[in-house]
Chain A
Protein backbone atom coordinates (compact mmCIF):
# COMPACT_ATOMS: atom_id res chain seq x y z
CA UNK A 1 0.00 0.00 0.00
CA UNK A 2 2.86 2.32 0.83
CA UNK A 3 4.30 1.81 -2.63
CA UNK A 4 1.05 2.78 -4.26
CA UNK A 5 1.09 6.22 -2.61
CA UNK A 6 2.15 8.79 -5.12
CA UNK A 7 4.89 11.11 -3.98
CA UNK A 8 6.13 14.00 -5.98
CA UNK A 9 8.81 16.62 -5.88
CA UNK A 10 7.40 20.11 -5.81
CA UNK A 11 8.98 23.24 -7.14
CA UNK A 12 8.59 26.13 -4.76
CA UNK A 13 9.42 29.74 -5.45
CA UNK A 14 11.17 31.28 -2.52
CA UNK A 15 10.99 34.95 -3.30
CA UNK A 16 11.20 37.48 -4.86
CA UNK A 17 8.98 38.37 -1.94
CA UNK A 18 9.98 36.25 0.99
CA UNK A 19 10.93 37.30 4.50
CA UNK A 20 14.46 35.99 4.36
CA UNK A 21 15.73 36.45 0.84
CA UNK A 22 17.33 39.77 1.74
CA UNK A 23 15.38 41.85 -0.69
CA UNK A 24 14.33 40.56 -4.04
CA UNK A 25 16.23 37.36 -4.59
CA UNK A 26 14.18 34.55 -6.01
CA UNK A 27 15.21 30.99 -5.34
CA UNK A 28 13.54 28.10 -7.04
CA UNK A 29 13.58 25.12 -4.73
CA UNK A 30 13.07 21.55 -5.82
CA UNK A 31 11.70 19.99 -2.67
CA UNK A 32 10.89 16.49 -1.62
CA UNK A 33 8.88 17.06 1.52
CA UNK A 34 11.13 18.99 3.86
CA UNK A 35 14.18 18.06 1.83
CA UNK A 36 15.51 20.44 -0.74
CA UNK A 37 17.12 18.65 -3.63
CA UNK A 38 18.35 21.66 -5.52
CA UNK A 39 18.22 25.44 -5.41
CA UNK A 40 18.41 27.76 -8.38
CA UNK A 41 18.85 31.41 -7.59
CA UNK A 42 17.28 33.87 -10.00
CA UNK A 43 18.55 37.41 -9.78
CA UNK A 44 18.04 40.68 -11.57
CA UNK A 45 14.93 42.02 -9.84
CA UNK A 46 16.87 45.05 -8.68
CA UNK A 47 18.88 45.53 -11.84
CA UNK A 48 19.45 49.18 -12.71
CA UNK A 49 22.32 48.73 -15.14
CA UNK A 50 24.68 50.80 -13.06
CA UNK A 51 27.53 50.05 -15.43
CA UNK A 52 25.62 51.77 -18.22
CA UNK A 53 24.80 54.69 -15.95
CA UNK A 54 28.52 55.01 -15.21
CA UNK A 55 29.18 55.50 -18.90
CA UNK A 56 26.56 58.24 -19.09
CA UNK A 57 27.55 60.37 -16.11
CA UNK A 58 30.87 61.90 -15.16
CA UNK A 59 33.32 60.39 -12.71
CA UNK A 60 32.26 62.78 -10.00
CA UNK A 61 28.56 62.30 -10.64
CA UNK A 62 28.83 58.53 -10.39
CA UNK A 63 29.87 58.67 -6.76
CA UNK A 64 26.32 58.82 -5.34
CA UNK A 65 25.36 55.89 -7.51
CA UNK A 66 27.97 53.75 -5.80
CA UNK A 67 26.15 54.39 -2.52
CA UNK A 68 23.34 52.29 -3.86
CA UNK A 69 25.37 49.25 -4.79
CA UNK A 70 25.77 47.63 -1.43
CA UNK A 71 23.47 50.03 0.32
CA UNK A 72 24.47 48.68 3.70
CA UNK A 73 28.08 49.67 3.15
CA UNK A 74 28.01 52.92 1.21
CA UNK A 75 31.19 54.25 2.75
CA UNK A 76 33.13 51.23 1.50
CA UNK A 77 31.75 51.62 -2.02
CA UNK A 78 32.62 55.31 -2.01
CA UNK A 79 36.13 54.46 -0.97
CA UNK A 80 36.52 51.95 -3.80
CA UNK A 81 35.26 54.28 -6.49
CA UNK A 82 37.29 57.23 -5.20
CA UNK A 83 40.44 55.12 -5.19
CA UNK A 84 39.79 53.89 -8.70
CA UNK A 85 39.32 57.36 -10.14
CA UNK A 86 42.24 58.80 -8.21
CA UNK A 87 44.46 56.06 -9.48
CA UNK A 88 43.47 56.72 -13.09
CA UNK A 89 43.70 60.49 -12.82
CA UNK A 90 46.78 60.37 -10.57
CA UNK A 91 45.23 62.53 -7.86
CA UNK A 92 47.07 62.81 -4.57
CA UNK A 93 44.80 62.55 -1.54
CA UNK A 94 45.71 64.35 1.69
CA UNK A 95 46.71 62.02 4.49
CA UNK A 96 43.91 63.13 6.79
CA UNK A 97 41.31 62.32 4.15
CA UNK A 98 42.73 58.84 3.72
CA UNK A 99 42.42 58.16 7.42
CA UNK A 100 38.95 59.62 7.59
CA UNK A 101 37.84 57.39 4.75
CA UNK A 102 39.15 54.36 6.55
CA UNK A 103 37.32 55.47 9.68
CA UNK A 104 34.08 55.75 7.74
CA UNK A 105 34.66 52.44 5.98
CA UNK A 106 35.34 50.58 9.21
CA UNK A 107 32.38 52.10 11.02
CA UNK A 108 30.29 51.09 8.08
CA UNK A 109 31.72 47.59 8.24
CA UNK A 110 30.60 47.32 11.85
CA UNK A 111 27.14 48.56 10.91
CA UNK A 112 26.92 46.11 8.05
CA UNK A 113 28.05 43.16 10.14
CA UNK A 114 25.64 44.15 12.89
CA UNK A 115 22.80 44.04 10.46
CA UNK A 116 24.01 40.71 9.22
CA UNK A 117 24.12 39.49 12.82
CA UNK A 118 20.56 40.59 13.33
CA UNK A 119 19.11 39.15 10.17
CA UNK A 120 21.00 35.91 10.61
CA UNK A 121 19.59 35.56 14.09
CA UNK A 122 16.14 36.28 12.78
CA UNK A 123 16.52 33.66 10.10
CA UNK A 124 17.39 31.19 12.82
CA UNK A 125 14.12 32.21 14.47
CA UNK A 126 15.53 34.43 17.20
CA UNK A 127 14.02 37.89 17.08
CA UNK A 128 15.99 39.64 19.74
CA UNK A 129 19.41 39.75 18.03
CA UNK A 130 17.80 41.74 15.26
CA UNK A 131 16.72 44.47 17.63
CA UNK A 132 20.01 44.45 19.48
CA UNK A 133 21.95 44.69 16.23
CA UNK A 134 19.78 47.52 15.07
CA UNK A 135 20.14 49.36 18.34
CA UNK A 136 23.91 49.63 17.91
CA UNK A 137 23.61 50.19 14.20
CA UNK A 138 21.35 53.12 14.98
CA UNK A 139 24.20 54.72 16.91
CA UNK A 140 26.52 54.32 13.94
CA UNK A 141 23.91 55.71 11.63
CA UNK A 142 23.54 58.77 13.86
CA UNK A 143 27.31 59.17 13.86
CA UNK A 144 27.23 59.17 10.09
CA UNK A 145 24.42 61.65 10.27
CA UNK A 146 26.74 63.98 12.18
CA UNK A 147 29.63 63.17 9.91
CA UNK A 148 28.03 63.70 6.54
CA UNK A 149 24.33 64.40 7.00
CA UNK A 150 23.09 61.13 5.56
CA UNK A 151 21.96 58.00 7.31
CA UNK A 152 22.16 55.37 4.61
CA UNK A 153 23.68 56.65 1.38
CA UNK A 154 26.62 58.54 2.78
CA UNK A 155 28.50 59.85 -0.24
CA UNK A 156 31.21 60.67 2.27
CA UNK A 157 34.40 59.92 0.38
CA UNK A 158 34.76 62.32 -2.53
CA UNK A 159 37.25 62.22 -5.32
CA UNK A 160 40.35 63.88 -3.90
CA UNK A 161 39.33 63.66 -0.24
CA UNK A 162 36.28 63.51 1.91
CA UNK A 163 33.19 65.64 2.14
CA UNK A 164 33.65 67.12 5.61
CA UNK A 165 36.16 67.10 8.38
CA UNK A 166 35.61 65.16 11.55
CA UNK A 167 34.43 67.43 14.33
CA UNK A 168 35.65 66.85 17.89
CA UNK A 169 32.09 66.10 19.02
CA UNK A 170 31.70 63.39 16.43
CA UNK A 171 35.05 61.93 17.38
CA UNK A 172 33.86 61.82 20.97
CA UNK A 173 30.62 60.16 19.91
CA UNK A 174 32.57 57.54 17.98
CA UNK A 175 34.77 56.79 20.98
CA UNK A 176 31.73 56.45 23.16
CA UNK A 177 30.20 54.08 20.69
CA UNK A 178 33.36 51.96 20.43
CA UNK A 179 33.43 51.50 24.20
CA UNK A 180 29.75 50.61 24.13
CA UNK A 181 30.35 48.16 21.31
CA UNK A 182 32.97 46.29 23.33
CA UNK A 183 30.41 45.70 26.03
CA UNK A 184 27.63 44.76 23.66
CA UNK A 185 29.79 42.32 21.76
CA UNK A 186 29.95 40.06 24.79
CA UNK A 187 26.20 40.34 25.20
CA UNK A 188 25.65 39.34 21.59
CA UNK A 189 27.63 36.17 22.05
CA UNK A 190 25.73 35.21 25.16
CA UNK A 191 22.50 35.72 23.33
CA UNK A 192 23.25 34.00 20.05
CA UNK A 193 26.74 32.75 19.25
CA UNK A 194 26.96 30.19 22.03
CA UNK A 195 23.30 29.32 22.14
CA UNK A 196 22.91 25.57 21.84
CA UNK A 197 19.98 25.70 19.43
CA UNK A 198 21.73 28.26 17.25
CA UNK A 199 24.93 26.23 17.14
CA UNK A 200 22.98 23.13 16.17
CA UNK A 201 21.24 25.04 13.45
CA UNK A 202 24.41 26.43 11.91
CA UNK A 203 27.34 24.15 12.70
CA UNK A 204 28.02 21.62 9.95
CA UNK A 205 25.43 23.29 7.74
CA UNK A 206 26.43 24.51 4.30
CA UNK A 207 30.08 23.57 4.51
CA UNK A 208 32.24 25.28 1.89
CA UNK A 209 35.68 23.68 1.62
CA UNK A 210 38.52 26.12 1.00
CA UNK A 211 39.29 24.94 -2.55
CA UNK A 212 35.65 25.22 -3.57
CA UNK A 213 35.44 28.70 -2.08
CA UNK A 214 38.45 29.83 -4.08
CA UNK A 215 37.24 28.19 -7.28
CA UNK A 216 33.93 30.02 -7.04
CA UNK A 217 35.69 33.32 -6.46
CA UNK A 218 34.22 33.81 -3.01
CA UNK A 219 35.72 36.63 -0.99
CA UNK A 220 35.26 38.35 2.31
CA UNK A 221 33.91 36.62 5.41
CA UNK A 222 32.58 33.78 3.28
CA UNK A 223 36.07 32.90 2.04
CA UNK A 224 37.66 33.53 5.42
CA UNK A 225 35.03 31.36 7.06
CA UNK A 226 36.44 28.50 5.00
CA UNK A 227 39.80 29.04 6.67
CA UNK A 228 41.52 31.04 3.93
CA UNK A 229 43.28 34.04 5.42
CA UNK A 230 42.73 36.36 2.51
CA UNK A 231 41.92 39.98 3.14
CA UNK A 232 42.58 42.68 0.55
CA UNK A 233 43.47 45.05 3.37
CA UNK A 234 46.47 42.80 4.06
CA UNK A 235 47.07 41.19 0.66
CA UNK A 236 47.08 44.38 -1.40
CA UNK A 237 47.38 47.06 1.26
CA UNK A 238 45.69 50.33 0.41
CA UNK A 239 44.83 53.59 2.14
CA UNK A 240 46.32 53.67 5.64
CA UNK A 241 45.80 50.01 6.43
CA UNK A 242 49.51 49.14 6.43
CA UNK A 243 49.93 51.49 9.38
CA UNK A 244 47.15 49.88 11.37
CA UNK A 245 47.33 46.83 13.56
CA UNK A 246 44.56 44.32 13.01
CA UNK A 247 44.09 40.65 12.38
CA UNK A 248 42.59 38.64 9.58
CA UNK A 249 39.94 36.48 11.22
CA UNK A 250 39.35 33.03 9.81
CA UNK A 251 36.96 30.20 10.53
CA UNK A 252 38.47 27.41 12.56
CA UNK A 253 35.57 25.01 12.85
CA UNK A 254 35.12 25.78 16.54
CA UNK A 255 31.61 24.31 16.65
CA UNK A 256 31.73 21.97 13.69
CA UNK A 257 33.60 21.75 10.42
CA UNK A 258 35.73 24.53 8.99
CA UNK A 259 33.67 26.46 6.49
CA UNK A 260 30.22 25.86 7.94
CA UNK A 261 27.62 28.54 8.46
CA UNK A 262 28.61 29.10 12.05
CA UNK A 263 32.20 29.84 10.99
CA UNK A 264 31.07 32.43 8.50
CA UNK A 265 28.89 33.99 11.14
CA UNK A 266 31.72 33.92 13.65
CA UNK A 267 34.17 35.55 11.26
CA UNK A 268 31.77 38.49 10.99
CA UNK A 269 31.51 38.71 14.74
CA UNK A 270 35.29 38.71 15.09
CA UNK A 271 35.59 41.33 12.37
CA UNK A 272 33.34 43.63 14.33
CA UNK A 273 35.92 43.53 17.09
CA UNK A 274 38.80 44.07 14.69
CA UNK A 275 37.02 47.03 13.14
CA UNK A 276 36.47 48.53 16.58
CA UNK A 277 40.22 48.18 17.08
CA UNK A 278 40.94 49.86 13.75
CA UNK A 279 38.58 52.74 14.49
CA UNK A 280 40.32 53.40 17.79
CA UNK A 281 43.71 53.46 16.08
CA UNK A 282 42.45 55.78 13.39
CA UNK A 283 41.05 58.18 15.98
CA UNK A 284 44.35 58.09 17.88
CA UNK A 285 46.57 58.51 14.87
CA UNK A 286 44.49 60.87 12.76
CA UNK A 287 46.96 63.24 11.10
CA UNK A 288 46.28 66.95 10.89
CA UNK A 289 45.96 68.75 7.60
CA UNK A 290 43.49 69.41 4.81
CA UNK A 291 40.78 66.90 4.12
CA UNK A 292 40.26 67.64 0.45
CA UNK A 293 42.48 68.55 -2.49
CA UNK A 294 41.39 70.72 -5.32
CA UNK A 295 39.82 68.64 -8.06
CA UNK A 296 38.58 70.31 -11.24
CA UNK A 297 34.81 70.54 -11.58
CA UNK A 298 35.03 68.72 -14.87
CA UNK A 299 37.49 65.98 -14.20
CA UNK A 300 39.02 64.75 -17.45
CA UNK A 301 40.85 61.50 -17.02
CA UNK A 302 43.56 60.52 -19.52
CA UNK A 303 43.14 57.27 -21.41
CA UNK A 304 44.10 54.56 -18.99
CA UNK A 305 42.69 51.52 -17.25
CA UNK A 306 42.90 50.11 -13.78
CA UNK A 307 41.35 47.44 -11.61
CA UNK A 308 41.11 48.66 -8.05
CA UNK A 309 40.28 46.23 -5.29
CA UNK A 310 39.06 47.07 -1.84
CA UNK A 311 37.77 44.97 1.01
CA UNK A 312 34.10 45.73 1.45
CA UNK A 313 32.17 44.06 4.29
CA UNK A 314 31.02 41.35 1.92
CA UNK A 315 34.30 40.77 0.17
CA UNK A 316 36.40 42.05 -2.67
CA UNK A 317 34.80 45.06 -4.28
CA UNK A 318 36.55 45.71 -7.56
CA UNK A 319 36.17 48.65 -9.90
CA UNK A 320 37.60 48.01 -13.34
CA UNK A 321 37.54 51.38 -15.05
CA UNK A 322 38.62 52.19 -18.59
CA UNK A 323 39.00 55.90 -19.25
CA UNK A 324 39.28 57.55 -22.65
CA UNK A 325 40.36 61.13 -21.96
CA UNK A 326 36.86 62.55 -21.47
CA UNK A 327 35.08 63.24 -18.20
CA UNK A 328 33.11 60.03 -18.42
CA UNK A 329 34.43 56.50 -18.16
CA UNK A 330 34.42 54.43 -21.33
CA UNK A 331 33.61 51.33 -19.37
CA UNK A 332 33.13 50.71 -15.69
CA UNK A 333 32.90 47.16 -14.46
CA UNK A 334 31.85 46.60 -10.89
CA UNK A 335 33.01 43.35 -9.43
CA UNK A 336 30.45 42.94 -6.68
CA UNK A 337 31.36 40.49 -3.92
CA UNK A 338 27.78 39.40 -3.27
CA UNK A 339 27.32 38.46 -6.93
CA UNK A 340 30.22 36.02 -6.79
CA UNK A 341 29.33 34.77 -3.33
CA UNK A 342 25.78 34.00 -4.34
CA UNK A 343 26.87 31.92 -7.31
CA UNK A 344 27.90 29.09 -5.02
CA UNK A 345 24.41 28.68 -3.55
CA UNK A 346 23.35 26.06 -6.07
CA UNK A 347 26.45 24.05 -5.34
CA UNK A 348 26.26 23.90 -1.55
CA UNK A 349 22.53 24.02 -0.85
CA UNK A 350 21.76 20.52 -2.05
CA UNK A 351 20.04 17.71 -0.23
CA UNK A 352 19.49 19.77 2.86
CA UNK A 353 16.38 20.89 4.70
CA UNK A 354 14.36 23.96 3.87
CA UNK A 355 15.54 25.52 7.11
CA UNK A 356 19.16 24.89 6.11
CA UNK A 357 18.76 26.72 2.82
CA UNK A 358 17.70 29.78 4.78
CA UNK A 359 20.69 29.49 7.08
CA UNK A 360 23.11 29.01 4.19
CA UNK A 361 21.69 31.99 2.37
CA UNK A 362 21.89 34.04 5.52
CA UNK A 363 25.46 33.01 6.20
CA UNK A 364 26.51 34.05 2.69
CA UNK A 365 24.92 37.41 3.47
CA UNK A 366 24.13 38.93 0.10
CA UNK A 367 22.83 42.40 -0.59
CA UNK A 368 20.71 42.43 -3.68
CA UNK A 369 21.56 45.99 -4.59
CA UNK A 370 25.03 44.76 -5.22
CA UNK A 371 24.17 41.44 -6.82
CA UNK A 372 21.89 43.02 -9.40
CA UNK A 373 23.65 46.36 -9.67
Chain B
Protein backbone atom coordinates (compact mmCIF):
# COMPACT_ATOMS: atom_id res chain seq x y z
CA UNK B 1 0.00 0.00 0.00
CA UNK B 2 1.25 3.45 -0.84
CA UNK B 3 2.05 5.95 1.90
CA UNK B 4 -0.83 8.18 0.75
CA UNK B 5 -3.42 5.46 1.21
CA UNK B 6 -2.07 4.60 4.63
CA UNK B 7 -2.31 8.25 5.51
CA UNK B 8 -5.94 8.38 4.44
CA UNK B 9 -6.84 5.38 6.57
CA UNK B 10 -5.02 6.96 9.50
CA UNK B 11 -6.79 10.31 9.40
CA UNK B 12 -10.09 8.67 8.73
CA UNK B 13 -9.99 6.33 11.72
CA UNK B 14 -7.90 8.32 14.15
CA UNK B 15 -8.77 11.97 13.57
CA UNK B 16 -6.49 14.42 15.27
CA UNK B 17 -3.76 11.90 15.78
CA UNK B 18 -1.47 12.87 12.96
CA UNK B 19 0.15 16.20 13.43
CA UNK B 20 2.11 16.16 10.21
CA UNK B 21 2.65 13.92 7.20
CA UNK B 22 5.95 14.63 5.50
CA UNK B 23 6.71 13.23 2.06
CA UNK B 24 9.66 15.42 1.09
CA UNK B 25 12.23 13.12 2.69
CA UNK B 26 13.53 9.94 1.12
CA UNK B 27 11.23 7.95 3.41
CA UNK B 28 7.92 9.64 4.30
CA UNK B 29 7.06 9.92 7.97
CA UNK B 30 4.13 10.77 10.18
CA UNK B 31 4.42 12.98 13.22
CA UNK B 32 1.82 11.77 15.68
CA UNK B 33 0.59 13.15 18.97
CA UNK B 34 2.90 11.68 21.57
CA UNK B 35 0.06 11.05 24.06
CA UNK B 36 -1.73 8.86 21.56
CA UNK B 37 1.19 6.71 20.41
CA UNK B 38 -0.22 3.55 21.96
CA UNK B 39 -3.52 4.09 20.22
CA UNK B 40 -1.82 4.61 16.87
CA UNK B 41 0.45 1.62 17.29
CA UNK B 42 -2.39 -0.68 18.28
CA UNK B 43 -4.50 0.58 15.38
CA UNK B 44 -1.73 0.06 12.83
CA UNK B 45 -1.10 -3.41 14.13
CA UNK B 46 -4.70 -4.57 14.10
CA UNK B 47 -6.23 -2.85 11.09
CA UNK B 48 -6.95 -5.62 8.56
CA UNK B 49 -5.79 -3.59 5.57
CA UNK B 50 -2.58 -2.44 7.26
CA UNK B 51 -1.37 -5.21 9.58
CA UNK B 52 1.89 -3.69 10.66
CA UNK B 53 2.92 -6.77 12.56
CA UNK B 54 6.62 -6.12 13.00
CA UNK B 55 8.36 -3.33 14.83
CA UNK B 56 11.79 -2.87 13.34
CA UNK B 57 13.27 -0.24 15.59
CA UNK B 58 12.58 2.43 18.16
CA UNK B 59 14.95 5.33 17.78
CA UNK B 60 15.50 8.41 19.87
CA UNK B 61 16.74 11.59 18.19
CA UNK B 62 18.05 14.63 19.98
CA UNK B 63 16.96 17.62 17.90
CA UNK B 64 18.46 20.20 20.20
CA UNK B 65 15.25 21.91 21.23
CA UNK B 66 13.26 18.70 21.51
CA UNK B 67 13.50 14.91 21.39
CA UNK B 68 11.92 12.66 18.86
CA UNK B 69 10.93 9.07 19.34
CA UNK B 70 10.86 7.33 15.97
CA UNK B 71 9.12 4.03 15.33
CA UNK B 72 9.68 1.94 12.23
CA UNK B 73 6.92 -0.50 11.52
CA UNK B 74 6.54 -2.92 8.68
CA UNK B 75 4.01 -5.44 7.53
CA UNK B 76 5.33 -8.82 6.50
CA UNK B 77 2.06 -9.63 4.83
CA UNK B 78 1.73 -6.54 2.62
CA UNK B 79 5.34 -5.43 2.56
CA UNK B 80 4.61 -1.77 3.34
CA UNK B 81 6.30 0.24 6.05
CA UNK B 82 5.64 3.37 8.08
CA UNK B 83 7.78 5.70 10.12
CA UNK B 84 6.08 7.31 13.11
CA UNK B 85 7.55 10.18 15.01
CA UNK B 86 6.54 11.61 18.34
CA UNK B 87 7.94 14.93 19.51
CA UNK B 88 8.91 15.06 23.18
CA UNK B 89 9.97 17.92 25.40
CA UNK B 90 13.69 18.38 25.94
CA UNK B 91 13.42 18.95 29.69
CA UNK B 92 11.63 15.73 30.61
CA UNK B 93 11.29 13.51 27.56
CA UNK B 94 8.70 10.86 28.26
CA UNK B 95 6.32 8.74 26.23
CA UNK B 96 4.13 5.74 26.88
CA UNK B 97 5.63 2.35 26.18
CA UNK B 98 4.40 0.15 23.34
CA UNK B 99 6.29 -2.90 24.56
CA UNK B 100 3.06 -4.69 25.41
CA UNK B 101 1.76 -4.13 21.87
CA UNK B 102 5.06 -4.97 20.21
CA UNK B 103 7.25 -7.15 22.46
CA UNK B 104 10.16 -6.20 20.20
CA UNK B 105 9.97 -2.67 21.59
CA UNK B 106 11.09 -3.85 25.00
CA UNK B 107 14.83 -3.82 24.34
CA UNK B 108 14.65 -0.94 21.89
CA UNK B 109 12.98 1.27 24.47
CA UNK B 110 15.51 0.26 27.07
CA UNK B 111 18.28 1.19 24.69
CA UNK B 112 16.70 4.52 23.86
CA UNK B 113 16.31 5.21 27.56
CA UNK B 114 19.90 4.20 28.16
CA UNK B 115 21.49 6.28 25.44
CA UNK B 116 19.13 9.27 25.27
CA UNK B 117 17.29 9.32 28.55
CA UNK B 118 13.80 9.15 27.08
CA UNK B 119 11.53 7.65 29.72
CA UNK B 120 9.02 5.11 28.50
CA UNK B 121 6.25 5.13 31.06
CA UNK B 122 4.70 1.79 31.82
CA UNK B 123 7.71 -0.14 30.57
CA UNK B 124 8.02 -3.36 32.62
CA UNK B 125 11.77 -3.23 33.07
CA UNK B 126 13.22 0.17 32.24
CA UNK B 127 16.89 -0.29 33.12
CA UNK B 128 20.08 0.57 31.32
CA UNK B 129 20.88 -2.11 28.79
CA UNK B 130 24.17 -1.29 27.08
CA UNK B 131 25.90 0.91 29.63
CA UNK B 132 26.75 -0.10 33.19
CA UNK B 133 24.06 0.58 35.78
CA UNK B 134 26.10 3.29 37.49
CA UNK B 135 26.88 5.26 34.34
CA UNK B 136 26.03 8.93 34.48
CA UNK B 137 24.39 10.75 31.62
CA UNK B 138 23.07 9.66 28.26
CA UNK B 139 25.78 9.61 25.59
CA UNK B 140 23.67 10.17 22.50
CA UNK B 141 22.43 13.53 23.72
CA UNK B 142 24.05 16.35 21.82
CA UNK B 143 25.11 18.14 25.01
CA UNK B 144 26.74 15.05 26.47
CA UNK B 145 30.29 15.43 27.69
CA UNK B 146 32.26 12.22 28.01
CA UNK B 147 33.57 11.71 31.56
CA UNK B 148 37.28 12.02 32.28
CA UNK B 149 37.42 8.60 33.82
CA UNK B 150 35.24 5.71 34.89
CA UNK B 151 36.08 3.86 38.10
CA UNK B 152 39.63 5.08 37.83
CA UNK B 153 40.03 4.06 34.20
CA UNK B 154 41.19 7.09 32.27
CA UNK B 155 39.17 8.09 29.26
CA UNK B 156 41.82 10.40 27.80
CA UNK B 157 42.86 9.67 24.22
CA UNK B 158 46.44 8.50 23.88
Q: Do A and B bind each other?
A: yes
**Contact surface of A with B, Cβ cutoff 8 Å:** 43-44, 47, 49, 51-52, 55, 87-88, 214-217, 228, 230, 235-236, 304-307, 309, 316, 318, 320, 322, 330-331, 333, 335, 339-340, 342-343, 347, 372-373
Is B93 on the interface with A (CB-CB < 8 A)?
no
- The total of chain B residues at the interface (CB under 8 A) is 33
Is B102 on the interface with A (CB-CB < 8 A)?
yes
Is B42 on the interface with A (CB-CB < 8 A)?
no
A-chain residues with CB within 8 Å of residue B108 when the two chains form the complex: 340
A343 touching B131 by the CB < 8 A rule? no
B-chain residues with CB within 8 Å of residue A55 when the two chains form the complex: 140
Among B57, B61, B81, the residue within 8 A (CB) of A335 is B57
Among B25, B62, B128, the residue within 8 A (CB) of A306 is B25
Give Cα A333 to B72, complex, Å. 11
The stretch of B12-20, B33-41, B48-56 that contacts the partner chain: B48-56
Is B147 on the interface with A (CB-CB < 8 A)?
no
**Contacts A88-B26, A340-B107; A215 near B130 (Cβ below 8 A):** no
A47 touching B70 by the CB < 8 A rule? no
Instruction: Report the minimal beta-carbon distance from A99 to chain B, rounded to whole angstroms.
Output: 23
Closest 6 CB pairs of A and B: A217-B104, A306-B26, A44-B130, A335-B57, A333-B59, A343-B107
B57 touching A47 by the CB < 8 A rule? no
A307 touching B130 by the CB < 8 A rule? no
A-chain residues with CB within 8 Å of residue B56 when the two chains form the complex: 217, 307, 309, 316, 318, 335
B131 touching A47 by the CB < 8 A rule? yes
B-chain residues with CB within 8 Å of residue A307 when the two chains form the complex: 27, 56-57, 72, 81, 83
Instruction: Report the minimal beta-carbon distance from A244 to chain B, rounded to whole angstroms.
Output: 19
A-chain residues with CB within 8 Å of residue B140 when the two chains form the complex: 49, 51-52, 55, 331
Give Cα A126 to B132, complex, Å. 36
**Contacts A44-B131, A331-B61; A215 near B102 (Cβ below 8 A):** yes
Q: What are 29 sample pairs from A and B whose C-beta atoms fall under 8 A apart?
A: A43-B129, A43-B130, A47-B130, A88-B26, A214-B76, A215-B54, A215-B102, A216-B104, A217-B56, A217-B103, A217-B104, A230-B76, A235-B76, A235-B79, A305-B26, A305-B29, A307-B81, A316-B56, A318-B72, A320-B72, A331-B61, A333-B59, A335-B57, A339-B107, A340-B108, A342-B107, A343-B107, A372-B130, A373-B130
Residue on A with the closest CB to B128? A44
A-chain residues with CB within 8 Å of residue B83 when the two chains form the complex: 307
